[in-house]
Amino acid sequence: MKILSKICFTFLLVTAIAVQANAQENQTYIIHTIEKGQSLYSIANMYNTTVDAIVKLNPGSEQIIVEGKHLLVPRPDRITDEGTYHTIQQGETLYGLSKKYKVSVKAILDANPGLNEKNFRYGQVVNIPKDDGSVAEETPTQQPQVTQPEESKAQQGIRAAVQSRCKEMHKVARKETIYSIARMYGITEQELLDANPEISDATKLKKGKLLCIPYPKPQQTEQPKEEKEPTNTELFNQNKVADHNISVIKAAVVLPLVPGEQGKAESARMLEYYQGFLMAVDSLKRTGSSIDLYTYDSGATVASVNAILAKPEMQKMDIIFGPLYTDQIKPMAEFANKHHIRLVIPFTSRDNTVYRNPDIYQINTPQSYLYSEVYDHFTRQFPKAHVIFLNATAGAEEKAGFIKGFQEELKRKQMPFTNLSEDATSDQMQAALQKDLANVFVPTSGSNTVLIKTLPQLSAMVNDSLYKEKINAEVHLFGYPEWQTYTKDHLSAFFELDTYFYSSFYTNNLLKAPRSFVASFRRWYGKDMEDRYPKYGMLGFDTGYFFLKGLSLYGSGLENNLGKMNLTPIQTGFKFDRVNNWGGFINKKVFFVRFTPKYELIKLDFD
């Protein structure tokens, strides 16, 4: 049986190697290395394929995929209008890819704005664009061959006699020498002597002697030296585009600002966003930035957006903010890509254009990336944690993906966790504690109903005299962004339980900057912002200020300097990374907000 098992294992291993070899040799598949935060959905969208197609090649991947592991992803057998994809192999160069696919180096780099000398390495995937016609196919032109009739020996003799070896005959004049005659006809002395063997360089030439002047020998052309292959460094430097300043920034806002079919509530939120955006423009103009702002009501249809994009001034924009509706993103993204205009999508996280369009900035983090950042920050904040999940009976569907991924991450890092019912008593909660670890309670639902049910039991547990005297284990509560809206109801319990929640947006109204912004907003518009999270006025200010300030500082080089944007936003954090070499940027910023037992409110900002 053991022998049979070894044979089966060897067969499977050889099969797997054969599949990978076939993938590399025929380029039928892309070998994709899974990166932090990626999901089957995001990977499928990167390569314009489907989740089912990936699962078919990688059975079991529908259950879990692991960072650092490989997936086989189907790719087209030929280069389509969208190009194709290539996994860089050991020893491959940028020059070699250009020759292999018969496209220019510049075309490859234009199709992969995220590619640079540092990340051009084994395992990276690059987009190979369709042949741009800049590299001609290196096939020598075949001249038609004409068959000559075979000559007889007599004909060959006649031809030899006709084709004399002498170009002409020279009659020697008085005092002429071999040197002077050779120079006269542009030949060497040796050539003249070879054509006239009866004389020698020592012979005195007699006046009147006839000399054969030979045809000049054809000059030997130097063989072209073998072209040295340029290095990756040389090619990246040669194709580097110089950054330029933008003296007047042209920005457009395309949002449903006028109430229509979408209803008053949505247009009110968009109007508040725009009002905050205007405050950012005003702040920047006061510091010397020059901005031309164009504002358009997008309506709720694709046709209304197309009408805006048809306006001639839209092609001259440096940046566009919008839209709100998902079905309007595609035409706007295609327009932005065609004219190389940055498109900032402030709201939805479920659009997939960012995976294949380098000009997109997605503010709202896609779920898989957001959760991955939270898991990473959690295990850094609590390296010795025991997580106790309080399983909710209602409302848990919304957080099911987060909880499943969280538990998989805990298993992978060998961190213990326990499951309790949301109806667990304080005694049952106390019995689940592990004294030497940080015990972190995590409800599986973000609803206020679950908090109302569980917080009294948690408070009773930590205030129990037996717990304080004998157990006294470290206890925390961990939860979700929507808990910001429940602080008025549970503030005391949050402090008591040393509570944390994660979020991509947060503002502490006790700090000077938020208080100043709230007062300015009220002064500008004679009203307060809506009582919701995120606050759309602050979101408008933060996004407008971040991007317009970046363009003011770095011009066309904004993308190369995002890491230098050391700004303190009022509410929304920014940490942009490209999703791949040919795609756009997603925002990966996540905060932890902590309510300490000392009644301190702290925002933990992770690099």
Residue 180's domain spans which residues?
166-214
353 and 470 share a domain?
Answer: no
pLDDT at residue 276, rounded to an integer: 98
Q: Is residue 13 part of a domain?
A: no
Q: Is the pLDDT of residue 424 over 90?
A: yes
Q: Is residue 555 part of a domain?
A: yes
340 and 255 share a domain?
Answer: yes
Q: What is the average per-residue pLDDT within 88-104?
A: 93
Q: Which amino acid is at 557?
A: G
For the segment 31-80, what is each residue's pLDDT rounded down to a tens digit?
Answer: 999 999 999 999 999 998 999 999 999 999 998 888 999 999 998 766 66
Question: Can you tell me the distance from the alpha carbon of 476 to that of 493, in angstroms, rounded to the nearest whole number?
Answer: 11
Query: Are residues 32 and 581 in contact, defined by beta-carbon separation less than 8 angstroms?
Result: no
Of the candidates 79, 100, 128, which is a domain's last residue? Answer: 128
408 and 489 share a domain?
Answer: yes
Q: Count the domains in the chain.
A: 4
Q: Is residue 156 part of a domain?
A: no
Query: Are residues 390 and 450 in contact, defined by beta-carbon separation less than 8 angstroms?
Result: yes
Q: Is the pLDDT of residue 162 over 70?
A: no
496 and 516 share a domain?
Answer: no
For the segment 574-597, what is each residue's pLDDT rounded down to a tens digit?
Answer: 999 999 999 999 999 999 999 999
499 and 559 share a domain?
Answer: no
Which of 85, 31, 131 has the alpha carbon at shortest distance from 581? 85
Q: Is residue 243 part of a domain?
A: no
- Estimate to the nearest angstrom the gap between the alpha carbon of 308 and the chain centroid: 28
Question: Can you tell me the distance from the alpha carbon of 40 to that of 47, in angstroms, rounded to the nearest whole number?
Answer: 11
355 and 266 share a domain?
Answer: yes
Q: Is the pLDDT of residue 140 over 50?
A: no
CATH number at residue 79: 3.10.350.10
Q: Is residue 442 part of a domain?
A: yes
CATH number at residue 577: 3.40.50.2300
Quickly state the pLDDT bin for 360 (edges 50, 70, 90). very high
For the segment 289-313, what is each residue's pLDDT rounded down to a tens digit?
Answer: 999 999 999 999 999 999 999 999 9
Q: Is residue 19 part of a domain?
A: no
Q: What is the average per-residue pLDDT within 511-520?
A: 92
395 and 350 share a domain?
Answer: no
333 and 439 share a domain?
Answer: no
Query: Are residues 457 and 422 in contact, defined by beta-carbon separation less than 8 angstroms?
Result: no
Q: Is residue 600 part of a domain?
A: no
Of the candidates 75, 98, 128, which is a domain's last residue? Answer: 128
Q: Is the pLDDT of residue 9 over 90?
A: no
- Estimate to the nearest angstrom the gap between the alpha carbon of 225 and the chain centroid: 40
pLDDT at residue 284, rounded to an integer: 97
CATH number at residue 397: 3.40.50
Q: Is residue 161 part of a domain?
A: no
Question: Can you tell me the distance from the alpha carbon of 215 to that of 338, in angstroms, rounded to the nearest whole number?
Answer: 63
- DSSP notation for 200-249: -TTSPPPTT-EEEEEPPPPPPPPPPPPPPPPPHHHHHHHTPPPP---SSE
Q: What is the average per-residue pLDDT within 188-208?
A: 78
472 and 559 share a domain?
Answer: no
Burial of 116 (C-beta count, 10 Å sphere; 0-12/13-18/19+):
middle
pLDDT at residue 27, rounded to an integer: 45
Count Cβ atoms below 10 Å from residue 442 Cβ, excluding itself.
21
Q: Give the 3-state secondary structure of 148-168.
A: CCCCCHHHHHHHHHHCCCEEE
Query: Are residues 446 and 483 in contact, defined by beta-carbon separation less than 8 angstroms?
Result: yes
